[in-house]
Amino acid sequence: MELAGKTALVTGGSRGIGRAIAKMLAARGAHVVINYNGSQEQAERTRTEIQAAGGSASLFQCSVADPEAVEEMIKQVAAEYKRLDILVNNAGITRDNLILKMTEKEFDEVLDTNLKGVFHTCKHAAKQMLRQKSGSIVNISSISGIMGNAGQTNYAASKAGVIGLTKSLARELASREIRVNAVAPGFIETEMTEKLPESAVEAGKAQIPFRRFGTVEEVAKVVCFLASEDASYLTGQVIQADGGMGM
Ligand code: NDP
């Protein structure tokens, strides 16, 4: 299997896109550390599903917005598995509101999780990857970070920030063969998009040349490609998995 012997950490692996990524990485042979914040039952379900399919997985609870907790998580992963080959920064939240109504708390919470969370994990993972002189980081951005989206000034800013961070870190780590790329999904069927009102779902589909939302597996396939040696000459890239929405 292409990822046999590799250790992967997926943040927000308890549900949605993160669960699909964790399951696909494990199916390709990696040991997957599933990070989650609040959804312990869902995280356990992801681990059980991976193990039932013959894969290997463990759990680590911590908020990616907590710098000390993230440092401890990466230290423990490195101590236990002796390496960290793949980091997928998938954890993310929304607190949508029009800017006139948006509170500072709503803005900060989204930035703290979606952007600073990526900073924390990358900082500590990079230390381990530099020691190994190898590694692949895949950051989950969003089409909102590229095109913008009314009601999502906080979210779009965080996801555009993830793209800037990805490209800058790719330049910092390239000399050690550590790759850093991003995936920018469009509308994907998850709990995040289930919260959207029907009118927003219809308006969303009308903007997508494929006229449908993507599946979590369609995003996971792109992440697994970037994480694997098949993408050995790719760094600093942003792949839009969006049914053509942002072309
Ligand atoms: P979900 O809301 O279904 O899942 C979010 C995941 O993030 C959960 O596993 C959650 O864990 C985790 N999470 C949230 N906050 C934290 C935190 N502070 N620390 C650790 N984990 C956390 O989201 P999706 O699966 O839809 O989205 C996954 C990623 O894809 C996000 O980054 C999102 O922005 C991005 N994306 C999604 C799109 C979509 O259409 N769904 C489109 C474009 C991008 P827990 O439940 O344990 O708290």
Per-residue pLDDT of 28-49, as tens digits, reads 999 999 999 999 999 999 999 9
Decide whether any atom of ligand 1 lies within 6 Å of the 64 Cβ. Answer: yes
Decide whether any atom of ligand 1 lies within 6 Å of the 38 Cβ. Answer: yes
Report yes or no: 93 and 117 within 8 Å, Cβ to Cβ. Answer: no
**pLDDT 10s digits, 108-144:** 999 999 999 999 999 999 999 999 999 999 999 999 9
81 is catalytic: no
Confidence category of residue 196, pLDDT binned at 50, 70, 90: confident
Looking at residue 161, what is its pLDDT? Answer: 99
Decide whether any atom of ligand 1 lies within 6 Å of the 2 Cβ. Answer: no
Looking at residue 195, what is its pLDDT? Answer: 82
Amino acid symbol at 242: D
CATH number for the domain that contains residue 93: 3.40.50.720
Has residue 245 been placed in a domain? no
Q: Taking residues 167-178, report their average pLDDT.
A: 98
Looking at residue 1, what is its pLDDT? Answer: 83
Round to whole Å and give the CA distance between 243 and 247.
9
Has residue 243 been placed in a domain? no
Decide whether any atom of ligand 1 lies within 6 Å of the 142 Cβ. Answer: yes
Give the bridge partners for 182, in sequence order.
Answer: 139, 238
Structural domains counted in the chain: 1
Residues above pLDDT 70, as percent of the chain: 100
Ligand 1 atom showing the smallest separation from residue 16 Cα: 25
Has residue 174 been placed in a domain? yes
Looking at residue 192, what is its pLDDT? Answer: 79
Confidence category of residue 194, pLDDT binned at 50, 70, 90: confident
Looking at residue 105, what is its pLDDT? Answer: 98
Looking at residue 50, what is its pLDDT? Answer: 98
Has residue 242 been placed in a domain? no
Has residue 229 been placed in a domain? yes
Beta strands in the chain (DSSP E): 7-10, 31-36, 56-61, 86-89, 135-140, 178-185, 238-241
Has residue 54 been placed in a domain? yes
Instruction: Please list, in sequence order, all residues whose beta carbon lies within 8 angstroms of the beta carbon of residue 233, skipping any fewer than 6 positions away.
Output: none
Tallying the residues shown for the chain, one arrives at 247
Tell how far the Cα of 175 is from the centroid of ligand 1, in angstroms: 31
Q: Which domain holds residue 172?
A: 7-237
Tell how far the Cα of 117 is from the centroid of ligand 1, in angstroms: 12
Decide whether any atom of ligand 1 lies within 6 Å of the 185 Cβ. Answer: yes
Has residue 200 been placed in a domain? yes
Has residue 2 been placed in a domain? no
Looking at residue 114, what is its pLDDT? Answer: 98
Tell how far the Cα of 182 is from the centroid of ligand 1, in angstroms: 15
**pLDDT 10s digits, 141-164:** 999 999 999 999 999 999 999 999
Long-range contacts of 204-213, Cβ-Cβ distance < 8 Å, separation of 24 or more: 207/245, 208/242, 208/243, 208/244, 208/245, 209/243, 209/244, 209/245, 209/247, 210/243, 210/244, 211/243, 212/243, 213/186, 213/187, 213/188, 213/189, 213/243
Tell how far the Cα of 91 is from the centroid of ligand 1, in angstroms: 4
Integer distance in angstroms from the first to the last C-alpha of the chain?
Answer: 34
73: buried, middle or exposed (CB in 10 Å: 19+, 13-18, 0-12)?
buried
Decide whether any atom of ligand 1 lies within 6 Å of the 243 Cβ. Answer: no
Q: Taking residues 200-220, report their average pLDDT.
A: 96
| Mean confidence (pLDDT) of the chain | 97
Q: Taking residues 187-209, report their average pLDDT.
A: 91
Give the closest residue (by CA) to ligand 1 atom 39.
188
